[in-house]
Amino acid sequence: MKTHIKETKMAQPTDLQSAHADFASTFSAFKDANDVRLAEIEAKNSADILLEEKVDRLNTALDQQSRRIERMSIHNAQPQLGSQLGSQLNKATQNAESKSAWSSYIRSGDGTGLLAMESKGANAGVGGEGGYVAPAQTESLIDSALREASIFRSIASVRQVGASSFKKPISINGASSGWAGETDARPETTAPQLELLDFPVGELYAMPAATQLLLDDGVADVDQWLADEVRDIFAAQETNAFTVGNGTNKPKGILGYTNVADSAHSWGNMGYVATGSDGAFDTNSPIDSLIDLIYAPKPRYRANANFTMNRRTLGQLRKFKDADGNYIWQPSLQSGQASTLLGYPVVEVEDMPDVASDSYSIAFGDFRRGYLIVDRQGVRVLRDPYSAKPYVLFYTTKRVGGGIQDFNAIKLLKFAAS
């Protein structure tokens, strides 16, 4: 079987203003068509099939245009090549030996410079797994690219560690407190109830390929190339783990815990609100369960809260109106900002499940307080010029963990009667 491997090319600049205008026009057409559809359903309990198809086509177009705007926003947010090179040159001046040794290894496979640095105690590292630990500037480029591509990292907390796991004691009930007069005796406070959160890291890997021609090009920035190549692969794997991961050799996702009705919620479990209908929103009052979900977390978690769901679930919600006839979903009016649902930002996470019987298809809450991503410092790269000749493979590994750090901060919507 022949394997086709291609290198990433730099995207061309795009016109965000025009894309937003197209999106606004499509959304206006969608609202008009859906208004007619709703009126027909109210008048005769059904809508014309051609009208239904038109609404679905416009809904699909909104998804496509939304993703296009997101890609364009990410591209425009990236620093221009000149500023990247300027920053890298400043760092290279401070550590020319490290930069030269790393470049020699990546371009030609000569690791003698890195071995010499290791003998001097520098963090160039050769471990049992093989390969070399990337210099700080290369790791920084990879981390920066990953932050731009990983939607979950934009809403969760991220912490770097130097060990194989991160342990954090949590006070479930908080420390006791109270009021007392200046000369009154202070009553003895009870000890807080503590739980130890343990987030082990798993190994995330990618194997981008390059031609020797690219590596021989003295002008090409191979560090940036490597960061761009592993970015989307790492981001996709991470997002899946942060959503549905089981915690075995990977992070534990928000849907990887035991779920209980929010009225019976306890620490260590995820609380949920039911829609009242199996595998669907309630027919008579579909918005009520969303409002219940919003008010499930305590007020301190709602200020910075957002919804997460996939685009198909969002497509259903775009058709809903409130009691005043206003659409509950509203598009973003500014580049780089999320659309809103009932006034709260919506983050599309494709790994969230589709609406189905007993599915947990929507999450709501303060993800920055609720979910912790743990990055172990050090990106390791093993150069392999043999396995896919004439291409050179770069087995790149990064260690990542994660899990719920506050079970009160995030709630789920269950598509079930109870």
For 73, 204, 248, the CA distances from 244, given in Å and listed in that order, are: 27, 16, 11
Give the Cα separation of 109 and 104 in Å (integer): 7
Tokens of 190: 């009870």
Report whether 255 contacts 360 (CB < 8 A).
yes
Q: Give me the pLDDT at residue 135, please.
A: 84
End-to-end CA distance of the chain: 51
The whole-number mean pLDDT for each consecutive block of 10 residues of the chain, a chain of 418 residues, reads 42 62 82 84 82 85 79 63 50 61 86 69 49 85 88 93 83 66 68 78 93 85 90 94 95 96 94 96 93 96 96 95 93 82 95 97 97 93 92 94 95 96
Q: Give me the pLDDT at residue 308, please.
A: 97
Q: Give me the pLDDT at residue 93, please.
A: 47
100-127: b or e for each residue (b if 16 or more CB lie within 10 Å)?
A: ebbbebbbeeebebbeebbeeebebeee
Report whether 134 contacts 102 (CB < 8 A).
yes
Tokens of 141: 């480029």
Q: Give me the pLDDT at residue 87, please.
A: 52
Burial of 331 (0-12, 13-18, 19+ CB in 10 A): buried
Q: Give me the pLDDT at residue 177, please.
A: 65
Q: Give me the pLDDT at residue 253, please.
A: 97
Give the Cα separation of 16 and 27 in Å (integer): 16
Q: Give me the pLDDT at residue 121, please.
A: 47
- Predicted TM-score (pTM) of the model is 0.78
Give the Cα separation of 307 and 65 in Å (integer): 20
| C-beta neighbour count of 219 within 10 angstroms | 4
Give the Cα separation of 341 and 293 in Å (integer): 12
Tokens of 7: 């290198």
Question: For the chain, what percentages of helix, strand and coil (3-state, to nearest 5) are there?
Answer: 40, 25, 40
Give the Cα separation of 152 and 252 in Å (integer): 13
Report whether 405 contacts 170 (CB < 8 A).
yes
Q: Give me the pLDDT at residue 350, please.
A: 94
Angle formed at CA 168 by CA 165 and CA 171, multiple of 5 degrees: 160
Give the Cα separation of 211 and 340 in Å (integer): 44
- β-bridge mates for residue 171, sequence order: 194
Q: Give me the pLDDT at residue 13, please.
A: 44
Q: Give me the pLDDT at residue 395, please.
A: 94
